[in-house]
Structure 1
Amino acid sequence: MDIDKLSTKEREALLHALSAKKKQEETARRKNYQKMRTRFISSVEKRLRKYVKDGQAFKSWLRDEAEAYYKALKEYGELKRDEQLGFTVNNDTFRIQVKGNRVKRFDERADIAEKRLIDYLSKWIKQRGDGERNPIYKLAMSLLQRNEYGDLDYKSISRLYELEEDFNDTEYTEIMQLFRESNTVEGNVIRFYFEEKDDMNKWKRIEPSFNQM
């Protein structure tokens, strides 16, 4: 088509047709992308839900099996003490390690102690005059950070106890005592580790964690 031979109306009509076609193509491309996006999210979520559900079921089954095995092992070995669940068992190529740890947490008194400590630190830093750059202030505030589950970290709070001499203040000591009183032990956390022999006949960890596969 020789555009130069077209009349003004014909050129306008052609321009309008090309513009309409471009919009149609853009609309079609957007719809195709949105369909692909929806399909991608849906398929990933569906398979993830199954993956998580299967993993949770396996963990629950494994814990029951491990506890039953450990009970039988204790009876076989005539172990009378009531110990935490923990053992290692393997064949020539596969090894299972089970480790139990007591979980230390804080009760509701720690929430009050935390608020009191933040108020105390705010007043203390104003009196110091060197602002939030003060290293002791920065350390104390960092130790109050909660973990991904919203819990205070036992080891971090324990480090706050070590700062009593630095603050040398009755109010700070009372707050630390409240933290100590709120500390409780709640059951056991059981962790499982799996290993296999590699080509060099050495044990190599099998990581069930998704991002380490």
Structure 2
Amino acid sequence: MKDVNEMTADELMQLAQEKQQKEKSAAKAAKNKYTNERDAFIALTLAQFSEVSAILSQLKKETIHRASEFRDRAWELQNQEPKDQKQFSIVTEDQQFKLVVENQERNAFNEHAQIAIERIKEILYNKFASRNKAMYNIINDILMKNKSGDYDPKLVAKLRKHEEALNDPEFSAALDELSKSYYVAGSATYVRAYKRDESNKWIEIPMQFSSL
């Protein structure tokens, strides 16, 4: 290769352009390598997630089915008709492992709830805002929506605790209307597995990333 000091201006320009082109090609190759490896990693991980999700879904289905069968057989061993239960457990003979199956209802409020809640807020404001700020703030906090934008499913029960102390017919009437807007939106069945630790306490075997 010709010495740089001996190159003409045109040759130096050509050399600079060649260097710049090589740098661009190297940068493009590095980016392509990154993109290809990233996409391959994501695709592989998604495939693994899908596979594990399918396995867990089938495991849950089979576990609930078999656990329910053993629950029914336990009733039959006592010469009794099996009964539906929202929650039940089956435990090994040595008391070291157990499965808990639980059916939980998902409750919600319909569009009429907001009307009743606004009425309750108005009653509370007129009754307590000026003379019992603490009570007003306590009950007003109960009426706040959660981070998901929903009202607490236990809202009616929490307000009922204050009904006797408030002793206000309008409050009770608004609370009754709120109760009517409460309905069962669905249900879900959960299964949890436990084992004894060294202290003989039940420890749940984690099945969520946040617990691993």
TM-score (normalizing by structure 2): 0.72
C-alpha displacement at 1:139, in angstroms? 1.3
Q: What is the letter of the counterpart of residue 107 of structure 2?
A: R
Shift, 1:37, TM fit: 1.4
What residue in structure 1 maps to residue 190 of structure 2?
Answer: 191
2:153 pairs with 1:154? yes
Distance change (3 Å), C-alpha of 1:58 and 1:64: same
The alpha-carbon deviation at position 106 of structure 1 amounts to 3.2
Match of 1:139 among 126, 137, 141: 141
Structure 1, unmatched stretches of 5+, are: none
Q: Tell me the CA shift for residue 101 of structure 1.
A: 4.8
Q: Which residue of 2 aligns with 1:13?
A: 14
Q: How does 1:46-195 map to 2 (within 5 A)?
A: 46-80=47-81, 82-84=83-85, 85-92=87-94, 94-103=96-105, 105-106=107-108, 108=110, 111-114=111-114, 117=117, 135=137, 139-142=141-144, 144-145=145-146, 147=148, 152-162=151-161, 170=170, 173-184=172-183, 189-195=188-194
Specify whether residues 96 and 137 from structure 1 end up closer, same or farther in structure 2 by C-alpha distance, changes over 3 A only.
Answer: closer
Match of 2:36 in 1: 35
Q: Could you tell me which residue of structure 1 aligns to residue 204 of structure 2?
A: 205
Deviates more, 1:48-57 or 1:70-79: 70-79
* Contact map agreement 1:104 1:183 (CA 8 A) in 2: no
How far residue 26 of structure 1 moved from its aligned partner, in angstroms, is 1.0
Instruction: Specify whether residues 197 and 119 from structure 1 end up closer, same or farther in structure 2 by C-alpha distance, changes over 3 A only.
Output: closer
Residues 43-99 of structure 1: CA deviation (Å, up to 9, x unaligned): 111110111111111111111111111011111123457351412311548512324
Instruction: Give the distance between the partners of 1:88 and 1:169, measured in 2 at CA.
Output: 48
Count of residues in correspondence between the two structures = 200
Distance change (3 Å), C-alpha of 1:14 and 1:63: same
* Residue 21 of structure 1, CA deviation: 0.8
SS state at 2:53 partner:
helix
CA distance in 2, matches of 1:89, 1:118: 48
Cα displacement (A) at 1:18: 0.6
- Three-state SS of the structure 2 residue aligned to 1:208 is coil
* Identity rate, percent: 17
Measure, in 2, the Cα distance between the counterparts of 1:8 and 1:120. Answer: 87
Please tell me the residue identity of whatever aligns with 2:37. Answer: M
Structure 2 runs not aligned, ≥5 long: 131-135
Residues 115 and 95 of structure 1, relative CA distance in 2, 3 Å threshold: same
**Preserved contact between residue 96 and residue 192 of structure 1 (Cα < 8 Å):** no
The farther-off stretch of 47-56 and 172-181 is: 172-181
Q: Is the 8 A contact 2:112 2:181 kept in 1?
A: no
* In structure 2, distance between residues paired with 1:53 and 1:115: 43
Q: Equivalent residue of 2:22, what SS?
A: helix
Moved more, 61-70 or 111-120: 111-120
**Which AA in structure 2 matches 1:155?**
K
